[in-house]
Amino acid sequence: MSDETRGGERPEAGRGARVIRPGVTGELGRGDLRLRIEASGRELRRAITSVLEAVAGPRPRPTRVARAIGLDKSLASRLVRSVRATSDMDLMHFVPSPGGLHIFADLARKHADPASIEHLRAAADRFTELLDAVPGGRASIDAQIAESSRVALEKREHIAKQASFKAMSFLLGHFCDVLTTSLFLVPSANGRRVDGIEIHRRLGLRRMRPSTPLALLSFWGDASDAMKENAIAFEPVDGEAGRPDPMAFLLPEFSSQPLPELDVVRDGDMTTLVLGANSAGQAPTQLTSVFRIRNGWPLKPEERIQTLRGYVLHTPCREVVRDIYIAESLYTDASPQVSFELPGPRESRRPPRADGQRHFAEVDLTSSIQQLPLGPEPWDMPGVANQSAIVRHVLERTGHRTTRFRGWRFAMTYPLTLIEMMWWLTHPNAPEANGRA
């Protein structure tokens, strides 16, 4: 439940044209391309290193290179960084463009011997030929490099995600500085299932256009289903069943005042709480919400890799932080992992494979999970004010003040809007289901 939520085990309701460049008769195969990239990197390393040493000695520094020949400092830095790369593939990610290499050759010709300058020019020209032989040019080459270079992958990914944030903020008409979610798994009252308690915080929420409605929370299920035993149900934290007042999902004491009025939009089994259009164009800069998921998961895992939670991010964010906490009495051998997928039917979801092969709907994003130590302030989030106070308030209110939890955290800058992030739990001792690992 949320503007971005999919969860529990219930089904949710919820290469371009081929370019042939002049003088190029065909595209390089993947293996051939990687060999050419590495060969170009080896040649450029030798050529650049020779001229750099002639200009600034055997241990050149960017400032010394820039001063010696009047080279731009950023270009000097890229040259030094490229020859310091640990592999020829990494060098090809850092190396300046062929034009930059020719500028370097022109300015260095008074310091280096003619053979070294000619070698550098020839290597730069072959680099140009490589770029011309690949549809997409340097971006395509960087994509190839990223498959074996984490440094290249993280840099290009960050640039792309930042550009996506700016574009989607404009197109959707709203954005948020920080979005956090904290999911607590606790035994259900009936002793046969597992409940969830989830806190959502939006800090620095902004609406760029007054006419833009902003979805805050979504949940699934017919009101009559909530009355059935063991049925999955989404409720306000105090347990109001059926179709509750939408304001019951907000925590006023931890939100900007005055609280906004929310519209309730129902579409089949899905109900969405929406911050409607506002002529002043304002949205609350801080909004905190909390809810329960009744009977969301089995008490004993039914398969080795279990779907835990899914979130489709509807609001562009500069940063997202997602925590999960599992009561110590539950899933004692479990460990979490995350994946990113194109939104689609619940039935199409596949857990991450151990062999690294991806389903066609998976989106390959770098990510890591941090296990959280439970110290005197176990709920803190660096840079997020009042997080511990909010968690203590909610746990006290739900009767879990003394419950002990194990916790994990996932954080990402510029998360991709409208891409679904999935939490999975791996249970080493649980049976495999449907032949899936």
Query: Which residues have a Cβ under 8 Å from the Cβ of 58 and sit 6 or more positions away?
Result: none
Same-domain status, 299 and 211: yes
- The answer, yes or no, to whether residue 407 has pLDDT greater than 80, is yes
Contact 37, 94 (CB under 8 A): no
Same-domain status, 112 and 163: no
Token couple for 26: 């065909």
Same-domain status, 98 and 196: no
Q: How far apart are CA 366 and CA 252, in angstroms?
A: 36
pLDDT tens per residue across span 298-345? 999 888 889 899 898 989 999 999 999 999 999 999 999 999 998 776
Say if 437 falls within a structural domain.
no
Query: Which residues have a Cβ under 8 Å from the Cβ of 32 and sit 6 or more positions away?
Result: none
Beta partners for 359? none
Token couple for 329: 């009495």
Q: How confident is the model at residue 9 (pLDDT cuts 50, 70, 90)?
A: very low
Q: Of 133, 166, 193, which closes a domain? A: 133
110 phi-psi bin (left φ>0, alpha ψ -120 to 50, beta other): alpha
Tell me how crowded residue 62 is: count the other CB atoms within 10 A of its CB: 18
Q: Tell me how many degrees the CA angle 72-73-76 measures, rounded to the nearest 5.
A: 90
Say if 58 falls within a structural domain.
yes
Taken as a whole, the chain contains a residue count of 437
Same-domain status, 127 and 215: no
pLDDT tens per residue across span 105-162? 999 999 999 999 999 999 999 999 999 988 888 888 887 787 766 777 777 788 889 9
Structural domain for 282, as ranges: 5-13+158-426
- The structure's pTM equals 0.71
Same-domain status, 262 and 371: yes
Q: How far apart are CA 131 and CA 124, in angstroms?
A: 11
| Counted domains in the chain | 2
For residue 41, the model assigns a pLDDT of: 92
For residue 2, the model assigns a pLDDT of: 47
Mean pLDDT of the chain: 83
Same-domain status, 273 and 178: yes
90 or 322: which carries more pLDDT confidence? 322
Percentage of the chain with pLDDT > 90? 46
Q: Of 74, 100, 133, which closes a domain? A: 133
Say if 25 falls within a structural domain.
no
Say if 148 falls within a structural domain.
no
Same-domain status, 209 and 106: no
Same-domain status, 34 and 9: no
Same-domain status, 109 and 171: no
Contact 135, 19 (CB under 8 A): yes
pLDDT tens per residue across span 150-182? 777 777 788 889 999 999 999 999 999 999 999
Same-domain status, 284 and 373: yes
Q: How far apart are CA 177 and CA 395, in angstroms?
A: 26
Q: How far apart are CA 421 and CA 54, in angstroms?
A: 51
pLDDT tens per residue across span 337-350? 999 998 776 656 67
- The answer, yes or no, to whether residue 11 has pLDDT greater than 90, is no
Q: Phi first, then psi: what are they for 337, rounded to 5°?
A: -150, 165
pLDDT tens per residue across span 205-217? 988 887 888 888 7
Say if 356 falls within a structural domain.
yes
Q: What is the SS3 string spanning the chain?
A: CCCCEEECCCCCCCCCCCCCCCCCCCCCCHHHHHHHHHHHHHHHHHHHHHHHHHHHCCCCCHHHHHHHHCCCHHHHHHHHHHHCCCCHHHHHHHCCCHHHHHHHHHHHCCCCCHHHHHHHHHHHHHHHHHHHCCCCHHHHHHHHHHCCCHHHHHHHHHHHHHHHHHHHHHHHCEEEEEEEEEEEEEECCCCCEEEEEEEEEEECCEECCCCCCEEEEEEECCHHHHHCCCCCEEEECCCCCCCCCHHHHECHHHCCCCCCCEEEEEECCEEEEEECCCCCCCCCCEEEEEEEEEEEEECCCCCCEEEEEEEECCCCEEEEEEEEEEECCCCCCCEEEEEEECCCCHHHCCCCCCCCCCCCCECCCCCCEEEECCCCCCCCECCECCHHHHHHHHHHHCCCCCCCEEEEEEEEECCCCCCEEEEEEECCCCCCECCEC
Same-domain status, 37 and 9: no
For residue 387, the model assigns a pLDDT of: 93
Q: Among 7-21, 41-55, 56-70, where is mean pLDDT lowest?
A: 7-21
Same-domain status, 229 and 286: yes
Residue keyed to tokens 């911050």: 275
Say if 433 falls within a structural domain.
no
Say if 139 falls within a structural domain.
no
Token couple for 128: 């140009």
Say if 387 falls within a structural domain.
yes
pLDDT tens per residue across span 216-253? 877 765 555 555 667 788 888 886 655 567 788 889 99
